[in-house]
Amino acid sequence: MVLTTFYRKYRPQKLAELDLVEISDGLTKIAKSGKFPHALLFAGPKGTGKTSAARIFAKVVNCQNLKDGEPCDKCPSCREINAGTALDLIEIDAASNRGIDDIRELREKIKLSPAKLKYKVYIIDEVHMLTTEAFNALLKTLEEPPSHAIFILCTTQPEKLPQTIVSRCVRFNFRKAKPQEIVEGPLKRAVKGENLKVEEGVLEEIARAVDGSFRDAHKILEQLAAEGEKITLERTKELLGQTEELGPEKLLGFLAKKETKAALKEIDRIVQRGGDLNVYILRILDSLRQELLAKIGLEEENKPEVFADFDIAQIRTLISLFSRAARELKFSPIPQLPLELAVVEWGENEISNGKSQMSNLPERKQNPASQAVKPGGQTTPQLKKIEEKWGEILAKIKPQNHSVEALLRACRPASFTNEWLTLEVFYKFHKERLEEEKCRTIVEETVSEVIGVPVKLRCILGEKKNPQSNQQASTPDILDLANDIFNGKME
């Protein structure tokens, strides 16, 4: 008995069956034109159908009864490609055949005419893995390809390809699939084909968990189907490591109440229950993201409930902390440690914020920059000048980058000595952004222009304060900043 995985068994066989509509439409237009490019580049995340599209296109260019741009799947050429026996369809894994000798061998063989098909089709998977020398050899082939050969280059990392290679290909960008596309496409095809009994909500739960990958969705469904029973929502959540008891709502609730010990115990409970920490942290970030969207007026449908009331600054800090934890998760010798560190740092931030809001609040409201002194205890003339012209500085920066201007409203000039302007910032996130070269250059050049002397910027992390009590930051500024962070526009 030959076992066939769902992904292979139910993979699309025609252009119209491709689950990414824009890819299907684009390739269909080329197929109908009858003018086939000698090289195509399929770029995009794993599991989004690049290889399936490549094999279908190989049928298109070789089909003996092409109709409306679609292969017939009945002629000898189509049947050989479907069966995997076509000698003229050559699939190469660049991760294993990445050297110049492999490409030289390809160049020698490509000169030979096709054995049976009209075109020789070379599908090179993970083409970005080729060495520099191999790329140079491939480039020569792409520059002067034989008329009987077509190349389809597939990659998950197109940025690693030389521009000389990319410029000689017709490019198609594959994107991560939306959950609804995963449900309506591969999952429902497999459910129908295998006659599976599936409880309501199962397919949607799978689709949300696979990060846009058709292949991963099939793998999960196949694993559930192997148990031979009706696939329940409860069992699906157990497999995905995200049962109701392992949701993020308890942790977020503890964080909102500043109950650090309880939050750490909740993380330990998740680990003891065998929860998938990658999935768990993804659900935390998704909840926070949706809450941030709601705060700035971009609330989406089916928004997960956060179960806690955070303001924008708190949401931004939490997203930063848990995003860092997500990056560190795979390298941590103790799996839950990055999550625990994020919780502890959040607790410290909130305690510090509470103290700062209680100390010297009237003086800071009267003159937020008045306490900026040099180490000797005296305000320097240049610092005083910066304080007096701070509003002018912000006004000049805003047209250049209003996100930088919003960040500056949440900090204060602390000292100015030997061309070094020290800004006291109250959140690590703000400090990291202001220290980025582009942001730092904007501040240095603008302040230099206003006060008439060269300025170099450095930032120190001070006692965390409410941004509105420091530089009278207005709500629109904070909303603009949050909106920029969400849309990835911070420069």
CB 287 within 8 A of CB 248: yes
Contacts of 62 (CB under 8 A, 6+ apart): 77, 78, 81, 86, 88, 117, 118, 119, 121
d(CA 216, CA 187): 11
Residue 234 is encoded by which pair of tokens?
């409860």
Inter-CA distances, 133 with 98, 103, 124, 329, Å = 9, 9, 16, 36
- Which H helix or E strand runs over 461? strand 456-461
| The pLDDT of residue 468 | 42
Place of tokens 């990060």: 211
Q: Which residues of the chain have pLDDT under 50?
A: 1-2, 358-378, 465-478, 485-491
Alpha helices in 126-200 (DSSP H): 132-143, 163-166, 179-182, 188-194
**Dihedral angle of Cα 463, 465, 471, 473, to the nearest 10 degrees:** 150
Burial track 51-80 (b if 16+ CB lie within 10 A, e otherwise): bbbbbbbbbbbbbeebeebbbeeebebbeb
d(CA 292, CA 483): 9
Q: Strands 420-425, 412-417: parallel, antiparallel or unpaired by DSSP?
A: antiparallel
| The pLDDT of residue 369 | 36
Q: Which of 108, 97, 104 is nearest to 138 (CA)?
A: 104
**Which DSSP state fits 17?**
G
| The pLDDT of residue 415 | 87
**Dihedral angle of Cα 189, 192, 198, 200, to the nearest 10 degrees:** 70
pTM of the model: 0.58
Residue 261 is encoded by which pair of tokens?
């010990």
Grouping H, G, I as helix, E, B as strand and the rest as coil, residue 161 is coil
Long-range contacts (CB closer than 8 Å, 24 or more residues apart) made by 380-389 = 380/415, 380/416, 380/417, 382/416, 382/451, 382/453, 383/413, 383/415, 383/416, 385/451, 386/413, 386/416, 386/421, 386/447, 386/451, 387/413, 389/450, 389/451
Burial track 335-349 (b if 16+ CB lie within 10 A, e otherwise): ebebbbebbebbbeb
Contacts of 122 (CB under 8 A, 6+ apart): 90, 92, 106, 110, 149, 150, 151, 152
| The pLDDT of residue 428 | 78
Question: Using CB atoms within 10 A of its CB, is residue 413 exposed (0-12), middle (13-18) or buried (19+)?
Answer: buried
d(CA 371, CA 295): 33
**Dihedral angle of Cα 5, 10, 15, 18, to the nearest 10 degrees:** -90
Residue 220 is encoded by which pair of tokens?
């999960």
d(CA 292, CA 313): 10
Contacts of 141 (CB under 8 A, 6+ apart): 103, 106, 107, 110, 151
Instruction: Give the gyration radius of the chain's Cα atoms.
Output: 29
Q: Which of 55, 43, 11 is nearest to 160 (CA)?
A: 43
Contacts of 11 (CB under 8 A, 6+ apart): 49, 52
Q: Which of 452, 336, 454, 337 is nearest to 392 (CA)?
A: 452
d(CA 462, CA 412): 10
Residue 395 is encoded by which pair of tokens?
């006004």
**Dihedral angle of Cα 187, 193, 196, 199, to the nearest 10 degrees:** 40
Q: Which of 273, 466, 270, 472 is nearest to 367 (CA)?
A: 472
**Which DSSP state fits 209?**
H
CB 419 within 8 A of CB 448: no
List, in order of start, the domains of the chain with CATH numbers.
Answer: 6-173 (3.40.50.300), 179-240 (1.10.8), 244-355 (1.20.272), 366-487 (3.30.300.180)
Contacts of 255 (CB under 8 A, 6+ apart): 263, 308, 318, 343, 346
d(CA 266, CA 342): 13
Alpha helices in 144-246 (DSSP H): 163-166, 179-182, 188-194, 202-209, 214-225, 233-240
